[in-house]
Homo-oligomer: A and B are copies of this chain.
Amino acid sequence: MSDQGTPPRMRRGSAREAKRAQRLAHAAQSVPFITRKIPLYEVLDEEGLALIEGNADTILEEVGIDFHGEEEAPAIWREAGADVQGERVRFPRGLCRSIIQKSAPREFVQHARNPARSVAMGGRNVVFAPAYGSPFVRDLDQGRRYGTIEDFRNFVKLAYASPYLHHSGGTVCEPVDLPVNKRHFDMVYAHMRYSDKPFMGSVTHPLRAEDTVEMAKILFGEGYLDPASGKPRTVITSLINANSPLTFDATMLGALKVYARNNQACLVTPFILAGAMAPVTIAGACTVTLAEALAGLAFVQLLNPGAPVIFGSFASSVSMQSGAPTFGTPEPALVLYTMAALARRLGVPFRSGGALCASKLADAQAAYESANTMLPTCLAGANFVLHTAGWLEGGLAMGYEKFVMDADQAGMMHTLLLGVDLSENGQALDAIREVGPGKHFLGCAHTQANFESAFYRSPLADNNSVEQWEAEGSKDMAQRANAMWKRMLREYEAPAIDPAVDEALLDFIQRRKASFPDSNV
């Protein structure tokens, strides 16, 4: 006997079955974010983590960070006690850490316009958001092409309809059909209108960050300010990438300043491809990442003590043969485990990971690489997971099929992160007593009582016999995903919005767009 077995079959699908699936999907949809119950996984011990921290301090002290073209930074840093020479800022050991630990919140809530969808960032919480930033999109019907605002809206709708994505994300793809200097209006509006999940703001120019904040004020109305503190509620999280290695540029810092001063969350992310922006070693990549994050996070706290921040790490390797970015390999997973632990020691929420891959297609390469990133992301304890769904081709393309496939994997992570049920029902001793040797459990009372919610049920995996699979057209997962995203878009219904708010948003956009000429810079 080998490891193959064909258990007795239960009766096949029916209308009742379809109803059950609906109920389950509904139940899943009501979780605004995950609170993990399983332990964290760490690869380095106390000594190893302290070594990386010490090295990051050495780099901050000896080499420093360039705050490129940022007018306020020199005075702010000098005032804080750093050594400023032109754009280069060098930091006494421990300075950045102490600034961050003095005021940065360990956890914060990003409010959604639907309060039931607000997300808690940090601690044991996990928030999944779609992929971000692709100029191209890909689907099985039309192949690869530049993204448009229609694609953008489609991905917002798909994320809204996905029970396992908690966040609407930001630049879910670049709407290349719109002018560069005005597309942020349509992007932010799409998140506000076609979803009621939390979203991200524009970072490509300080004025665009200000537009995002203004639109948020319209959307949230009186709810924008917290009546207790009188301060703005955090309703936007925005991605501030370092220009690695060891540099922040004026554009990103400009957006950072707008968001920080408005109490909106800054996700400060060193963008590290080891071998290019950092040494070819794991410890080296971690050191550069930590040094950059410390400087960026501390800068936010100097601008507005207490402003919410997330410590981001985007890390992978480059191929030492071609220089191309690679994903899903073991080295970035080791960086991820290490960085998550370092962020915990610092005491701020952590972002990393997602369903990263280098593959051009939603094929086996894409899936191996995505799973090899997503599982470490969840085990390491990432709090905010950008790029959970859709990522292809090193982020150059957003895939429709890949999106729903990854969202299915995000569903699996929901189950994984909840761990093992050790209740009496979970132990199921009576079921084992009842069935006994050589019998099967399909019909026993415990199975009947639990089977609806017993196992994660993938809408895309085909577990049927090969004969049935062939009768249904021998489709691979990407082909099944193609049917699924189309059905989701067909069945999509926009969340309700106060017509007056919608009108005010559209009016704001119209006035702002009319106030300056289109440009693609």
Contact = CB atoms under 8 A, between A and B. Distances in A.
A36 B134 CA distance: 38
Contact of A279 (B5, B133, B432): B432
A472 to B, nearest CB: 11
A459 B364 CA distance: 14
Contact of A132 (B3, B360, B478): B3
A436 B63 contact: yes
Interface string A465-501: 1100100001011100000000000000000000000
Nearest to A454: B280
A129 to B, nearest CB: 12
A318 to B, nearest CB: 5
Interface in A27-48: 38-39, 41-44, 48
User: Which of A325, A338, A409, A462 is packed against the most chain B CB atoms within 10 Å?
Assistant: A462
A447 B454 CA distance: 50
Contact of A273 (B7, B328, B457): B7
A463 B396 contact: no
Interface string A430-465: 011101111111101011001110111110111111
Interface bin, chain A: 35 or more
A330 to B, nearest CB: 4
Contacts of A325: 5-7, 463
B287 A427 contact: yes
B63 A438 contact: no
A411 to B, nearest CB: 9
A429 B59 contact: yes
A311 B106 CA distance: 43
A134 to B, nearest CB: 7
Interface string A408-433: 01001101100111100111110111
A99 interface: no
A338 B420 contact: yes
Interface in A239-269: 239, 241, 243, 245-247, 249, 251-252, 269
A510 interface: no
Interface stretch (A8-16, A118-126, A225-233, A513-521): A8-16
Contacts of A1: 203-204, 241, 243, 249, 251-252, 271
A461 B360 CA distance: 10
B442 A323 contact: yes
A5 B281 CA distance: 19
Interface in A386-415: 386-387, 393-397, 405, 409, 412-413, 415
A287 B428 contact: yes
A279 B283 CA distance: 44
Given A322-B9, A368-B405, A63 B241 contact: no
A142 interface: no
A188 to B, nearest CB: 16
A372 interface: yes
A323 B1 CA distance: 20
A110 interface: no
B39 A436 contact: no
A457 B324 CA distance: 12
Given A2-B132, A284-B446, A372-B412, 16 more contacts: A7-B323, A55-B427, A59-B429, A62-B433, A68-B438, A245-B440, A276-B442, A279-B447, A283-B422, A319-B455, A326-B458, A330-B413, A330-B415, A360-B469, A361-B476, A365-B367
B395 A2 contact: yes
Contacts of A273: 5, 7
Interface string A63-104: 111101000000000000000000010000000000000000
A401 to B, nearest CB: 8
B329 A387 contact: no
A476 B386 CA distance: 26
B363 A319 contact: no
B360 A9 contact: no
B436 A7 contact: no
